[in-house]
A and B are shown apart, each in its own frame.
Chain A
Amino acid sequence: MDGLLALYIFTLAAFTGYEIIAKVPVILHTPLMSGSNFVHGVVVVGAMLMLGTADTPVQQAIGFFAVALGAANAAGGYVVTERMLAMFKKKEA
């Protein structure tokens, strides 16, 4: 990828991340942390790309490990975040 283009993406993404979390009350730190924990589970896509192009048994083994870990990050991150957020209620029904 063009290095300068990537630098633009890095910078803009960093600002986005900063803006999303700035001035957030303490009560929302858990959803934000746990939710962002889920979002970096997208690493599974990178792991799939590596496993999909692995051509030695060692690369396959590491790739398998990477995909399994990434999938666990995504699935686990989603489940615990969803469970926690489902409990946040305004008033008793």
Chain B
Amino acid sequence: MTPPIYIQGAWYLGALLFIFGLKGMGSPASARKGIVIAGYGMLLAIAATFLIPGLQNLALMALALGLGGAVAWISGKKVKMTDMPQMVAIYNGMGGGAAAAIAAIEFAKGETHSLVTIVLAVIGALIGAVSFTGSCVAWAKLQGVLKKAHRLPAQNAVNVVLALVAIGLGSAMVILAPAQPQLIFAFFAVALVLGLIVTLPIGGADMPVVISLFNAFTGLAVGFEGYVLGNPALIIAGIVVGAAGTLLTQLMAKAMNRPLTNILFTPMVATGPGEAISGTMKELSALDAAALMRYASKVIIVPGYGMAVAHAQHKVWEMTEILEEAGVEVKFAIHPVAGRMPGHMNVLLAEAGVPYDKIMDLEEINGEFGQTDVALIIGANDVVNPSARTDKSSPIYGMPILNADMAQNVIVIKRGKGTGYSGVENALFYTDNCRMLYGDAQPMAGEIIQQLKAMG
């Protein structure tokens, strides 16, 4: 069934607005306008679809739109900025689920199709289903519902077998088309389980990569189902997102210096003891920390997941403003994979009111640590570990890091003496110019603020 030309025109316009919108999101100044433009594109595409003559189940459709839209709208409005990664994950999973469900109906109808159509429908269904359950697991982990990484014995073998079974069932559906309901059911069951099993063992710090990867998956699934439906708007939107997401995933993996396969299939563990680290960790008081920064000319703050957990961003900005008033130059340095989603720290700092021109990424800031009096590290660990530069036996060797160790003084706010996500000891904490400030980031920042105020 080919919809009338004015409907197709509306879809075309919708796809065009998506691309303009995404383009706008490529610059901080126009990003807000970008999402609004893309939003109009979405409204236009949905409204046009509703007006296609001859569609059935319109009441049911309106109910589903209202229900899904309202629940997501309200939860999206309410969610705290620190909990944003899991929300992005779950909305993404829903898109993947929708793409898989489209394919399911297409199979159930079993109308005659070309070979290409069925192959793409199967591939789209597979990656859509994996993205659906995988994103649900990512949500559960980030939300704290699932506390630890669950690894099966022979996890990789199980992954491979499940993937092969899914591909086998998918191939059977192509060959036997139209497939029997039992086969369709088995295919979707295996695909959904595959998403679960693959994601369960992946740890929290790898989540920026995983969320980004599933985002790309859902995009591709939508693009493929768009071909099945003969709808160019879905193809364009889906494939643009798929390509963008794939590239972003690669950037993330590169920032961790780990190939994607490694993130998905190998747990991050310390393989050997690494080079012995000499020296001891030395503590300092909030008063000393305040004094060091108050009389510095330049301070760089390196936030990590610990700042997010402690909701410390507002206090950190308050402290920054006091320091700036006292004539200290303060900048923020963000590692590409700090936090739990791409750009997580930027969002938290923006929420606290930090202007984005004070926020630097790795390449921009790394040359400046040498001329910096104090590097203040808040809840970050592996991303400032100099072993990544020097110790070839370290599991994080080769990962690009923020060169905080090159600053005159390093102050680390940290909850305890434990290691970072990688389980690797951080050589930085033992160096002569490094001092530890043990405690939760929020009260610690509060204490430093008190001391700064007392100094006047």
Q: Which A residues lie at the B interface, using CB under 8 A?
A: 1, 3, 6, 9-10, 13-18, 20-22, 24-56, 58-60, 62-92
Q: Is the CB of A16 within 8 A of B19?
A: yes
A-B contact pairs, 7 of them (CB 8 A): A18-B243, A37-B88, A59-B108, A67-B65, A76-B76, A76-B90, A80-B88
Contact B244 A69 (CB under 8 A): no
Contact (Cβ within 8 A) A16 B243: yes
The answer, among A35, A46, A77, A90, for a CB contact under 8 Å with B25, is A35
A31 touches which one: B31, B36, B65, B222 (CB < 8 A)?
B31
**Cβ-closest chain A residue relative to B343:** A30
Q: Which of A26, A46, A89 contacts B362 (CB 8 A)?
A: A26
Complex CA distance for A39 and B245, rounded to whole angstroms? 12
Contact B357 A26 (CB under 8 A): no
Residue among B18, B60, B238, B355 making CB contact with A92, cutoff 8 Å: B355
Shortest CB–CB separation between residue B1 and chain A, in angstroms?
7
Task: Tell me how far the C-beta of A76 lies from the nearest C-beta in chain B, rounded to whole angstroms.
Answer: 3
Additional pairs, 10, CB under 8 Å, beyond known A6-B235, A58-B108, A76-B76: A17-B239, A21-B247, A32-B26, A35-B25, A43-B102, A52-B57, A53-B56, A80-B76, A87-B350, A90-B29
A10 to chain B, nearest CB (A): 6
- Is A42 within 8 A of B244, CB to CB? no
A35 nearest in chain B by CB position:
B25
With both beta carbons as reference points, the residue of chain A lying nearest to B104 in the complex is identified as A62
Complex contact A45–B11 (CB within 8 A): yes
Complex Cα gap A55–B72 (Å) = 28
Residue in A17, A29, A45 whose beta carbon sits within 8 Å of that of B234 in the complex: A45
Most chain A CB inside 10 Å of its own CB: which residue of B26, B84, B99: B26
A73 to chain B, nearest CB (A): 4
Q: Which of A49, A60, A63 contacts B231 (CB 8 A)?
A: A49
CB distance from A66 to the nearest CB of B (A): 4
Segment with Cβ contacts to A, from B38-46, B198-206, B271-279, B289-297: B38-46
**B 222-278 contacts with A by CB, 8 A:** 222-223, 225-227, 229-245, 247-248, 251
